[in-house]
Structure 1
Amino acid sequence: MKRTLLLALPIALMAACTNTPSASSNGAAPAAEAEAAPAATIDGKQLGANHWLLEAATDSAGKRIDALFVRADKPITLDFGDGRLSVDNACNRMSGGYSLSGGEMTISRMASTMMACTDPAVMALDKAVGSRLEGTLKVQQLDGATLRLATASGDVLTFAGEPTAETRYGGPGETVFLEVDAQTKPCSHPLIRDMQCLQVREVHYDDKGLEQGERGAYGNFYDTIQGYDHEPGVRNVLRVKRYTVKNPPADASSRAYVLDMVVGSESVGQ
């Protein structure tokens, strides 16, 4: 049995404006300036209610910034919460503090993890993203579907909003730890023929990361864990958020599980 510890448990337990356009002689603002004017205020709650996926980026000349799209299947994603911005899907995970004033967002110098990526284009993604997100940006648009930020150099980044699990399920959810065994097993389901179920058991820790009690037997897990892709032959301990689904369909579960992080993994021989 080959064991690989991804993250130590104590770490895993840690909390989980532009100027007003000048009027022309007839009192109307030029059209180009009117379009570029940022929103007067920023709804911080709306920022935190969504994951923001990068869908377009142009420089001051209107040219697409290709360096920001080297991971076509995993767009750069921003998350806002408790005064902090986190950036996912670059080479490293980055984060920094942010503040809002009028139609501007100011982001502090960001810290990042220190992983190396084999693809040079992905490795360069950290700098391409970080250099554009640090400092003061103008918020040109913010609604439930779109966040548009403009940098001092004239780059414009447009993000599409995707509701967070907390938004979709109406609450913060409960943090639980699940151990997923290396292999699935056949299980009976009235609507799915030849279903294979993950084999799962809960693991309990105290606030210092010390395991409490004994692990019980594995059981069939009929739900799905959003964000988790099971690899046969690998046993994982997961930190997940468990939500109560209000008024689920008759054939659906009343619970939803969303992956927060993989705490540890081990390869298990056949």
Structure 2
Amino acid sequence: MKNILKALSIITPMVMLFVLVQCKPMPGSSSGDEKTFIVASQTVDCTGVAPMKCLQVKEKESDSWGNFYSNIEGFTYEPGFEYVLKVKTEKIQNPPMDGSSIKYTLVQQVSKTKK
């Protein structure tokens, strides 16, 4: 048990550093902007601080899907549906070390399509 705890105390800071390096805001995000996000009908396995499920998000139909590590306040995801969302982005002052520097808030659910 002591060996497991010792290993975790070494691995945990490395994972947190990895997450910080990998968690980048969506392109073009800045304080108070409004974006349109297309959210895929399925989540994917990804790794943040720990293994988790990530939404797949893009801003234009022609873009590639990207992992979305944050949540969108006011939005409840339901598998099997593709969404088009209007989302407000706000810079977070002094974000937590393991969190995003951008807060995402649902402005409007434009569409919800069964896939």
TM-score by length of 1: 0.31
1:175 aligned residue (24, 34, 46): 34
CA distance in 1, matches of 2:111, 2:96: 34
Q: Report 1:9-48 matches (<5 A).
A: none
Residue 218 (structure 1) shift: 0.5
Residue matched to 2:24:
none
Query: C-alpha separation between the residues in 2 aligned to 1:175 and 1:224?
Result: 16
Corresponding residue of 2:50:
192
- Provide the rounded CA distance (Å) in 1 between the counterparts of 2:68 and 2:98: 15
Which structure: greater helix fraction?
A: 2
Select which of 207, 228, 243 maps to 2:75: 228
Find the aligned partners of 2:53 and 2:98 in 1 and give their Cα distance.
18
Q: State the superposition RMSD in angstroms.
A: 1.3
User: Which residue in the other structure is 2:58 paired with?
Assistant: 201
User: Partners of 1:243 and 1:255 in 2: how far apart?
Assistant: 6
CA distance in 2, matches of 1:251, 1:266: 33
CA distance in structure 2 between the partners assigned to 1:262 and 1:234 by the alignment: 12
Cα shift at 1:252 = 1.2
1:249 to 77, 87, 96: 96
2:73 partner amino acid: Q
SS in 1 for 2:63: coil
Quote the Cα distance in structure 1 between the aligned partners of 2:100 and 2:108: 22
Structure 1 position 249, deviation (Å): 1.5
- Structure 1 residues not aligned, in runs of 5+: 1-171, 204-213
Report the CA distance between 1:264 and its aligned residue.
1.2
Q: Under a length normalisation based on structure 2, what TM-score does the superposition of the two structures give?
A: 0.70
Secondary structure at 2:110's aligned position in 1?
strand
- Which structure would you say has the larger Rg? 1
Aligned mates of 1:265, 1:185 — CA distance in 2: 19
CA apart distance, 1:236: 0.3
Q: Deviations over 1:42-83 (max 9, x none)?
A: xxxxxxxxxxxxxxxxxxxxxxxxxxxxxxxxxxxxxxxxxx
Residue number in structure 2 paired with 1:240 = 87
Structure 2 unpaired stretches of 5+ = 1-30
Kindly provide the amino acid, as one letter, of the partner of residue 186 in structure 1.
Answer: D
* Structure having greater relative contact order (Cα 8 Å, sep ≥ 6): 2
- For residue 215 of structure 1, report the CA deviation from its aligned partner: 2.2
What does residue range 46-195 of structure 1 map to in structure 2 within 5 Å?
173-189=32-48, 191-193=49-51, 195=52
Distance, in Å, in 2 between the alignment partners of 1:255 and 1:235 is 23
The structural deviation recorded for 1:177 is 0.2
Partner of 1:265: 112
Q: Percentage identity across aligned positions? A: 40
